[in-house]
């Protein structure tokens, strides 16, 4: 399963912020992404890892719907 940070509507965000204040802890909200990881060869993985390092992010290759 893959997850992405959620885009929380304003009314729900207030609920999260309220609990954060109550427990004194920051919370991150994630939503499931309906995708399956792609299987890549070493060359493609190396290119992705290099780009991850350059950008300071994590990238996930997923199967295309046509595959």
51 with 24, same domain: the answer is: no
1 with 27, same domain: the answer is: yes
Based on the structure, what is the number of domains in the chain? Answer: 2
pLDDT digits (tens, 9 = 90+) for 6-18: 999 998 999 999 9
21 with 42, same domain: the answer is: no
46 with 17, same domain: the answer is: no
13 with 30, same domain: the answer is: yes
User: Would you state the pLDDT for residue 5?
Assistant: 93
User: Would you state the pLDDT for residue 1?
Assistant: 76
Give residue 53's domain range. 36-67
User: Would you state the pLDDT for residue 2?
Assistant: 85
DSSP string across 14-29: HHHHHHHHHHT-----
User: Would you state the pLDDT for residue 57?
Assistant: 96
pTM, two decimals, is 0.65
State how far the Cα of 64 lies from the Cα of 67, in Å rounded to an integer: 5
Q: What residues in the chain have per-residue pLDDT under 50?
A: none
């Amino acid at each position: 399963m893959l997850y992405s940070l959620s885009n929380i509507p304003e009314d729900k965000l207030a609920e999260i912020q309220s609990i954060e204040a109550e427990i004194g802890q920051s919370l991150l909200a994630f939503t499931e992404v309906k995708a399956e990881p792609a299987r890549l060869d070493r060359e493609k993985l190396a290119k992705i890892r290099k780009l991850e390092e350059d950008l300071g992010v994590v990238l996930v290759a997923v199967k295309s719907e046509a595959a």
